[in-house]
A and B are shown apart, each in its own frame.
Chain A
């Protein structure tokens, strides 16, 4: 029966700050969400500078219109939904047809916009760090070389003087642990479209 969704206290205060054009609050929101909104847009528009322009334009709009916006959802789902709509407009305008919507770590925004689908850089970092800490040190080193530095298993094996087989096992073992850890942290955002 309520017209509004459950919004937590922090969101209420932030939204209220945005509405009265508090620059400190605005800067906070900008710094908190900017990079994740850009990365999110990258899956629709494959061009870094277009993406940055799009997100920056949106924030200018947010500043000017905030006193009249009446944000009723959570701030997060408002931001990501608004950006998604701008991306879709951009695609239409530039005739990009799903070319870059390859495989998405972010879920495609489905109709029930639960906040859990979206996460800011700091939240993702926190989740990754907490889960990586659960790995045995060697395991973690190998996994980071693979996913963070983009080395192939062969390269890692040479670098650490291990057999390629050992590296493969360590990587798959790490993935197994991280999968369970991250599943808890970042609730089930579903990945829909795959390249293969």
Chain B
């Protein structure tokens, strides 16, 4: 039996409000069971019928009053330890500064005792943090995330020698009688008094030096075979390639290479490959470029204190790049894998 849909729809409000007589009610029930389309019409009607009462129900719950009620509980339960890493880093920096102060004082007292016990020590900078400290001679060191510096508590002899793994910025106190030497893998960087940046991560096939002011001389030493490369001028950047022990020099804007000291990341037409390398170090994540096409994309940006998600979102907005983040996963040995980020070409909309 075909019934006009409008006849049914006319009866629906009565059905939904329960006012309908049994005969008409049975007719609607039958119509509903006739086809899935009818049932959808019914469901949609029910939805429209109940929407306003549901809204009224929601309106009776006052979120502002409720929030006032739980806010004091929440304030009590806030523990300062869960504030973001940047702030924690700042707090952790303090003991290190105090520690370095302690070392300097101890050095003075050791000198007074004229008992120069030279002890090698190592300071490491944890992931996502920049550590600043002073060496015994007053040289200031900024140690980037995931880097470590080995140095003596006291500089004796005719050379001030330190060993770097990772990235550091040095502001070397001038002392012409006792040159300062940074050993970074095979590379030796010798200076009198100057400031410069060194990048030399163990898992990378190159090391680089950027000179801000003064003069440094570069040489390499492998199996006691010394190779002298010459001196570097301010504003120059030298890349040393492990594979052929060659150096390449270029003029650069030094700012972007030393901005990390203040927690900034500066990119100036850098290849996405380099951007990714620096971001993964900075945030201690694994970033994988899925599309070879975007590897050479030149990127320009400055990040200040943004967290990983914010940086990725900015990347997404300003470049034809999209990303997918995968959280840390528990490995079979119970450790957690690094957080992974995949970059790919943005799909055209």
Contacts and interface: CB of A to CB of B under 8 A. Distances in A.
B74 A147 contact: no
B9 A172 contact: yes
B12 interface: yes
B78 A21 contact: yes
Contacts, number: 144
B58 interface: yes
Interface stretch (B65-73, B160-168, B216-224, B264-272): B65-73
Given A31-B63, A179-B41, A196 B51 contact: no
B89 to A, nearest CB: 14
B63 A124 contact: no
Contacts of A38: 58, 61
A186 B48 CA distance: 10
Interface string B192-215: 000000000000000000000000
A49 B285 CA distance: 46
A168 interface: yes
Contacts of B46: 103, 105, 191
A90 interface: no
B52 A147 contact: yes
B279 to A, nearest CB: 17
Interface string B1-25: 0000000011111100011000001
Contact of B51 (A3, A16, A63, A182): A182
Range of interface residues on A (Cβ < 8 Å)? 35 or more
Interface in B34-66: 40-41, 43-64, 66
Contacts of A31: 63-64, 67
B305 interface: no
B47 A124 contact: no
Contacts of A176: 9, 45
Contact of B313 (A12, A56, A67, A191): A12
Interface stretch (B104-112, B118-126, B127-135, B320-328): B320-328
Say whether chain B's binding surface is mostly helix, strand, loop, or mixed. helix
A105 B50 contact: yes
A179 B16 CA distance: 13
A147 B56 CA distance: 10
A189 B62 CA distance: 25
B45 A179 contact: yes
A39 B54 contact: yes
Nearest to B325: A4
B13 A171 contact: yes
A186 B11 contact: no
B309 A175 contact: no
Range of interface residues on B (Cβ < 8 Å)? 35 or more
B95 interface: no
B45 A124 contact: no
Interface in B322-349: 324-327, 329
A48 B324 CA distance: 41
A186 B47 contact: yes
A2 B48 contact: no
B313 A9 contact: yes
B257 to A, nearest CB: 29
Contacts of A183: 44, 47-48
A96 interface: no
Given A9-B313, A189-B47, A148 B56 contact: yes
Contact of A52 (B12, B55, B61): B61
Contacts of B41: 179
Contacts of B14: 168
B61 A20 contact: no
B84 interface: yes
Contacts of B51: 105, 124, 127-128, 178, 182, 186
Contact of B48 (A169, A179, A188, A190): A179
Nearest to B328: A70
A121 interface: yes
Nearest to B40: A188
Nearest to A121: B58
A91 B57 CA distance: 21
A131 B83 CA distance: 44
A87 interface: no
A4 B67 contact: no
B4 to A, nearest CB: 13
Nearest to A176: B9
A128 B52 CA distance: 7
12 contacts: A13-B310, A55-B66, A63-B78, A70-B327, A124-B55, A128-B51, A146-B13, A175-B49, A178-B48, A182-B44, A183-B47, A189-B47
Closest A-B pairs by Cβ, 4 of them: A34-B63, A178-B48, A35-B61, A38-B61
